[in-house]
Amino acid sequence: MSASSEQAGVGRGLDDRRWTVAERVAEAARRRFPADVLAVAVHGPLAHGDDDGGGDREVGMLVVTYRPGTGPPPATRRVDGVLVDLTVAAAEDYLGQARVLSPLWPLTADRYVTTRALHDPTGWLRTLRDEHLGRLARARPAEFSTAARQAWYRGSAAHARAARLAEWYETDQALLMLGEARLAAATVTGLLSRTYFRDPGDAVRRTGLAGADMTEVGLVLARQAEELTARGRPVDGTVDDLLSG
């Protein structure tokens, strides 16, 4: 096991098979692509170090390469009973993503801010974190409001579709769309409050939307529309507004 792997494993049980699998993936990636791999890390619950150790949790992994199109292909596989979601990205491409403030920012920021290295001899992961935090420090309030408005449209459309499906007694489809509306509304809340979440489940839990029904989600979306209007980013507008962005 490498020194970086040993550091990553501090504070965990040696019998945690998810860490064992993650370390095997890191070692194999470095061995098979020695000239391509710049860094390997885990993100999500394992990176936070307060995971419950349940073997049913997904292991999120990142392989950073020096150049685009090199290293292993991105993939999701179950390895020895552990689901591994492997993201592979070139260093400059991933730094570019970290500098973007998108409508999905509350669901993606954690990957840039909280990672735990399995291999990072140059300290690239610190650069990733600093780049993202620097972008947030430079962001203007209007940027978050604009992103929140875009997320609000997605939530409003999903909520309207869920309501229509419920009227047609398409219960299963209605529940799926309601779930999308809950998550979109949670991301709006995250953008308006500059709060990011670990994953979609964390987003709906922390915003109180996990068990929200059709009416409750509708009320949340209505309040969000009012707040966006107060911030100068109304969800309604004219044709000229639409064409001018």
Which tens digits make up the pLDDT trace of 141-167? 999 999 999 999 999 999 999 999 999
pLDDT tens per residue across span 13-67 = 434 789 999 999 999 999 999 999 999 999 988 898 765 544 457 899 999 999 9
How much is the average pLDDT of 232-244? 93
Residue 190 vs residues 56, 59, 108, 148, 183: alpha-carbon distances, Å: 27, 24, 11, 8, 10
Mean pLDDT of 236-243: 92
Side-chain half-sphere of 99: how many Cα atoms within 13 Å?
8
Task: Tell me what pLDDT residue 7 has.
Answer: 44
**Per-residue tokens: 150:** 């875009």
Residue percentage of the chain with pLDDT more than 70: 91
CA angle 151, 197, 96 (to 5 degrees): 70
Task: Tell me the mean pLDDT in the region 221-245.
Answer: 94
Q: What mean pLDDT comes out for the span 225-231?
A: 98
- Average pLDDT value over all residues in the chain: 92
